[in-house]
Structure 1
Amino acid sequence: MPTIYDVAREAGVSAATVSRVLNGRRTVDPEMVARVLTAVRELGYRPNAVARNLRRSRTTLWAVIVPDIGNPFFTSTVRGIEDVAQQAGYSVVLCNSDESPAKEETYVAAALSEQMAGVIIASSGSVKAARCLLDSPVPVVAIDRELPRGAVDTVVVDNEEGARAATRHLLDAGYSRVACVTGPEGVSTADLRLRGYAAALGGAPVVVRTDFREQGGYDAMAALLSSPARPDAVFVASNLMAVGALRCLADRGVEVPGEVGLVGFDEIPWADLVRPSLTTVAQPTYELGRMAARLLADRITAPAARPATVVLPTELRPRRSSAR
């Protein structure tokens, strides 16, 4: 079984440098990091995790807690997190909260009890889970959604401006009765996207709140179609809800975009393939993950630094679903 000294000899560095790389220290020259990681892979070196964790009083694992791993948005985001984590010497444990505050609380408790090196979380809105994280010494980064009642490192997109651009786009296309389907109250993405929609609309908003699932979008669109003041366009505040809304319109025989225009928030891989193709507000999902991982690595190195908030831009991508 290869030792740390075998890795050092193969990489042409000292054993102390190998130890710094494997412990995630960011003061090592990137070229040396690459040589060490290459030697680790080629030799099949496996550090003694038990002994190292006893020395460091924590693991080299990051808990990444997301609401729905089946959502392409989170799949791409987690990939960005994992790529940076691997380079920094950490492994990722993925937890799917299923948009359930109770499951989120269970995963947070597990991450803390297992002495994870850090946590990246897209909160489902659990105040209890947020409080547990804030009261612990474990470094935390909030991603996509702000952590309730807490100041931690955060990476989000400009949700309000993205929703405002989507709503203005529908109004400029000639639609006049624009409704909004958004997520649960208290979840920052749902609330901020609703605020951007209302700001662009200017008049009386028509809003349906639901979960962020495909079926939720289907049911919300059905409710809007049954309304006496039926809208002629809808801004849907998530990708999966937009898919559900499109399915409902197809089932009801409603022509898109002729009878109802539609814009979703967040790109989906098949947005160009569905008919009509779906207008979306695209987010830099991979970059969201990479930035969150960088913030977490920095937080582990400098735990006393002030929390940072990174806001990334969105991009409106017009397609047929909103072209009246």
Structure 2
Amino acid sequence: MDNVPGGEEGGGIMAQVTIREVARTAGVSPATVSRVLNTSETVSPDLKERVLAAVRDLGYRPNSQARSLRTRATTVLGVIISDVTNPFFTAMVRGVEDVASAAGYSVVLANADEDLRKEQRYLEVAAAEQMAGVLLSPASATETSIDVLAERGIPVVTIDRRLKSADVDWVMVDNHRAAKEATLHLVEQGCRRIGFIAGRLGTTTGAGRLAGYRAGLRAAGLPSARELVVSGEFRIDGGREATERLLALPDRPDGLFVSNNLMTIGAVDALDTAGVRFPDDIALVGFDDMMPALSLRSQITAVSQPTYEIGRQATELLLRRVSGEPFPERHITLNAELKVRESSIRA
């Protein structure tokens, strides 16, 4: 599988040495080796020296000619998202397509469905097809591995979520700040027991929104009750079941913050089924202002993300990497906006 030559082409003297072997010898990730070889300023001097020592010891020589031919040969960008049914991602991909098309690139979309195995298969396909670059919404902050792309020098930019185990560019919103603002809005409406329906906490997005909710409670001087936080896994059914659990509490919430749009659909269905009115019985706030696209009531207060802008900026960043432009690792954090509507306003 490793096809990056280590010695001079045609010489037949030196066996192939791959980035993975260099990484193993240096005790670092293949992504870190790529950063060192591309003269990234984000690698510490100690790691850089270990990598360069391994390069010298193994006799590794990156085949810049082959890398250049690969870049010229493909004009395809891969986009691997975590849930194709979520309008957030489809709106974001529109921003990707517009920028890619203007630059002469095509886009191939893959749905990992929050499944690490499916995600890995798509990453391997992107590597085998020698795609120019990949935009990735990782299923896990710690378990997702992009080594298969790093070995081949294929650049990656993560969107909506970050990877903790790799030094890559990313574009996302300030989830912590947005969730804190939404929680404080519910406090301002008189809510004192605010339920929170969390997403996948193995992602930086899910963890960031939960941390923002708790920060909002602390800022308001309210306790963070364990029973008021229920995971809905970013799914409609999960949102419905989580809401049912919260409504079954002896002292049920007077406010509810749902941390993505799909779970908000499930939450509204559960509230309607139980005959619980919002905002009279419970003040409701969602995350992702995509309610009309989901045939959900448009009067729901929600955090609105700049979905198109996320896709646009991430693609522009990826194309700079594809072109070989050297620059330090970029982290772009965009602001989200709380759009206040009837579902959370109390007299």
Q: Which residue number in structure 2 is paired with residue 178 of structure 1?
A: 194
Matching of residue 79 in structure 1 with residue 101 in structure 2: no
Q: CA RMSD in A?
A: 2.0
1:159 aligns with 2:159: no
Report the CA distance between 1:137 and its aligned residue.
1.0
> What SS does structure 1 have at the residue aligned with 2:309?
helix
Residues 54 and 267 of structure 1, relative CA distance in 2, 3 Å threshold: same
Q: Given the alignment, which residue of 203, 219, 234 partners 1:212?
A: 234
| Pick aligned residue for 1:255 from 250, 272, 277 | 277
2:114 counterpart of 1:99: yes
Describe how 1:53-202 pairs up with structure 2 within 5 A. 56=71, 58-125=73-140, 127-202=143-218
Q: Distance in 2 between the 1:151 and 1:55 partners?
A: 23
Q: Which residue type is aligned with residue 181 of structure 2? A: A
Distance 1:148 1:303, change over 3 A: farther
Map 1:305-324 onto structure 2 (within 5 A): 305-324=327-346
Separation (CA, whole Å) in 2 of partners of 1:149 and 1:258: 45
Of 108-117 and 267-276, the range deviating more from structure 2: 267-276
* Residues 259 and 96 of structure 1, relative CA distance in 2, 3 Å threshold: same
Gaps of 5+ in 2: 1-67
1:264 to 274, 280, 286: 286
The whole-number CA distance in structure 2 between the counterparts of 1:73 and 1:163 is 17
Alignment-mate amino acid for residue 127 of structure 1: E
Q: CA deviation at 1:128?
A: 4.3
Task: Indicate the larger mover: 310-319 or 224-233.
Answer: 224-233
Q: Percent identity?
A: 44
Change (3 A) 1:135 1:185: farther
Q: Is the 8 A contact 1:134 1:150 kept in 2?
A: no
* Number of corresponding residues: 272
Q: How far apart, CA to CA, are the structure 2 residues paired with 1:219 and 1:109?
A: 35
Distance 1:293 1:72 in 2: 19
Unaligned runs of 5+ in 1: 1-52
In the alignment, the residues of structure 1 paired with residue 233 and residue 70 of structure 2 have an alpha-carbon distance, to the nearest angstrom, of 44
1:128 and 1:280 map into 2 onto residues whose CA distance is: 29
Equivalent position amino acid for 2:252 in 1: R
> How does the TM-score come out when normalised to structure 1?
0.80
Shift of residue 130, structure 1, vs aligned partner: 3.3
Q: Shift in Å at residue 123 of structure 1?
A: 0.8
Call closer, same or farther: CA 1:229–1:55 in 2, change over 3 Å.
Answer: closer
Instruction: Report if the CA contact (8 A) 2:235-2:263 is conserved.
Output: yes
Which residue among 195, 218, 221 is the counterpart of 2:243? 221
State which drifts further: 292-301 or 120-129. Answer: 120-129
Deviation readout 1:185-233 (Å, 9 max, x if unpaired): 2200110000110001122242112311111111110111112231111
Change (3 A) 1:304 1:223: same
In 1, Cα distance between the equivalents of 2:161 and 2:298? 30
Contact 2:200 2:232 in 1 (8 A): yes
- Conserved 8 A contact 1:276-1:321: no
Q: Name the residue aligned to 1:18.
A: none
CA apart distance, 1:272: 11
